[in-house]
């Protein structure tokens, strides 16, 4: 528990943007009397968000959003502070859902979710709980929520924090870019230079992973289903090909698609001996573990968080049971990146509390002025100044009559 407190202190020291918002919350108490129910990766940066909400007057209950990502020392420190925290590392599926239910039992006014499992529960088994609104952290969660919105089944408004510029441009790209490699380094202890790295998906996460792979000296291959993203990957200097071809060359495979069975039996068959598989997407469905299991004669843990599957003619290595490599093996995204994402979260929660009556049961972006506020504060705490438009420039931009 002591180590949990120290991790939180280190994160707090480096989350200066959220620190500014925390000062506002301390003064203005915008969340006084509200209950906030959270399902997030319980680690040090998340604890700093929880402490910020409490400064704002909220009562908080939290659990994990993945059975393997909780850091127990941090969860224990939160409990020691008197916060209702139901997360524990290595929960079974039943225990995981039991913990989500305990957050619902707390009768939250606002939900903060990562992956939308908690929100999903409120649309099925737990219709007894009414909330004012929710915020969602991640791409996968937003995809699920937009599908619910399309089907007209959403019961409350949701802010897609993921879609804020100060979130996806930094967290998804530079955060995932660094933390995925951090997880792979820790799991494998291998050199990346000269390796063939196959990255499935060229969304913002895939781009970040590819960018850093290039910097590490890897030969990067991208697989995509979207023609525009594929074209971007080509012009960013990467080889693009279907997985049926890429699977023959890859030394390391990383999935970041949000989709199911992206790497499966037909690909395992063609892989090289020693191929390493990791997933950076929210759910452990991108690499087909059932196929891997059924094609193997045996398996064993060769290193912490790395399973060796013996397929008879070759061995394939799966990191972190195909779960989020950056959070299971590493500590999640770097602190300065989560500083922005969780500032967006804090402002989204305040926005829901203050504006829920005006909102429909839809998925909203974080209002642009709040997104820009986070960018401004971040620049300020980094000591970076920028220019302002002169009056002449403002006038020029609004004058459509000018030309050559």
Residue 40 touches ligand ADE, criterion: CB under 6 A: yes
Query: Which residues neighbour 24 within 8 Å (Cβ) at sequence distance 6 or greater?
Result: none
In angstroms, the CA 66 to CA 89 distance is: 9
Contact between 106 and 138 (Cβ < 8 Å): no
From residue 295, alpha-carbon distances to 46, 215, 324 in Å are 39, 35, 23
Decide: is 167 part of the binding site for ligand ADE (CB under 6 A).
no
Span from 25-33, 303-311, 324-332, 388-396 in contact with ligand ADE (CB under 6 A) = 324-332
**How many angstroms from the chain centroid is the CA of residue 285?**
16
Tell me if residue 306 falls in helix, strand or coil.
Answer: strand
Assess 45 for contact with ligand ADE (CB under 6 A). Answer: yes
- CA separation for the pair 1, 83 (Å, rounded): 14
CB 116 within 8 A of CB 123: no
Shortest distance (Å) from residue 282 CB to ligand ADE: 8
Q: Give Cα separations from 18 to 75, 85, 170 (angstroms).
A: 20, 21, 15
Q: Using CA atoms, how far apart are residues 373 and 115, in angstroms rounded to an integer?
A: 25
Our CB check for ligand ADE shows the closer of 135 and 326 to be 326
Q: Does 267 bind ligand ADE (CB under 6 A)?
A: no
327 binds ligand ADE (CB under 6 A): yes
Smallest gap, in angstroms, from Cβ of residue 167 to ligand ADE?
10
Nearer to ligand ADE, 282 or 378 (CB): 282
The answer to whether 177 contacts ligand ADE (rule: CB under 6 A) is: no
Of the residues 338, 347, 353, 366, which one makes contact with ligand ADE according to CB under 6 A: 338
User: In the bound complex, which residue of the shown chain has the CB atom lying closest to ligand ADE?
Assistant: 332
φ/ψ of 241, rounded to 5, equals -160, 165
Residue from 84, 333, 350, 373 touching ligand ADE (CB under 6 A): that is 333
Of residues 327 and 340, the one with the C-beta less far from ligand ADE: 327
Structure tokens given for 68: 């393997």
Pick one of 73, 109, 117, 137: the residue that binds ligand ADE (CB under 6 A). 137
Which span sits near ligand ADE by CB under 6 A: 85-93, 148-156, 261-269, 327-335? Answer: 327-335
The residue ranges that bind ligand ADE (CB under 6 A) are 40-41, 43, 45-46, 114, 137-138, 326-327, 332-333, 338
């Amino acid at each position: 528990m002591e180590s949990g407190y120290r991790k939180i202190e280190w994160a707090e020291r480096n989350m200066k943007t959220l620190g500014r918002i925390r000062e506002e919350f301390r003064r203005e108490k915008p969340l006084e009397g509200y209950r906030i129910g959270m399902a997030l990766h319980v680690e040090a940066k998340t604890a700093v968000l929880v402490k910020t909400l409490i400064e704002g007057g909220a009562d908080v209950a939290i659990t994990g959003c993945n059975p393997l990502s909780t850091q127990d020392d941090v969860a224990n420190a939160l409990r020691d502070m008197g916060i209702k925290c139901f997360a524990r590392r290595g929960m079974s599926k039943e225990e995981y859902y039991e913990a989500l239910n305990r957050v619902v039992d707390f009768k939250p006014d606002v939900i903060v979710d990562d992956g939308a499992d908690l929100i999903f529960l409120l649309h099925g088994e737990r219709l007894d709980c009414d909330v004012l609104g929710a915020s969602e952290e991640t791409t996968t969660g937003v995809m699920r929520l937009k599908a619910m919105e399309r089907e007209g089944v959403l019961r409350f408004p949701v802010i897609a924090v993921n879609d804020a510029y100060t979130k996806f441009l930094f967290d998804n790209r530079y955060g995932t870019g660094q933390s995925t490699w951090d997880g792979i380094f820790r799991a494998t202890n291998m050199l990346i230079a000269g390796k063939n790295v196959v990255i499935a998906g060229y969304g913002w996460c895939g781009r970040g992973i590819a960018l850093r792979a290039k910097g590490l000296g890897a030969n990067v291959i991208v697989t995509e289903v979207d023609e525009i993203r594929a074209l971007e990957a080509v012009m960013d200097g990467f080889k693009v090909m279907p997985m049926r071809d890429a699977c023959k060359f890859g030394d390391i495979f990383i999935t970041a698609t949000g989709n199911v069975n992206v790497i499966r039996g037909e690909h395992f068959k063609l892989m090289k001996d020693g191929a390493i598989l990791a997933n950076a997407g929210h759910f452990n469905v991108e690499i087909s573990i059932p196929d891997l299991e059924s094609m193997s004669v045996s398996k064993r843990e060769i290193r912490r968080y790395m399973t060796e599957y013996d397929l008879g003619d070759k061995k394939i290595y799966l990191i972190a049971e195909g779960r989020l490599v950056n959070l299971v093996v590493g500590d999640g995204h770097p602190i300065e990146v989560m500083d922005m994402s969780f500032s967006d979260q804090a402002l989204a929660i305040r926005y829901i509390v203050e504006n829920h009556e005006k909102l429909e049961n839809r998925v909203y972006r974080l209002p642009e002025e709040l997104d820009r506020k986070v960018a401004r504060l971040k620049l300020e705490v980094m000591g970076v100044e920028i220019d302002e438009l002169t009056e002449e420039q403002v006038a020029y931009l609004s004058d459509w009559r000018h030309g050559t």
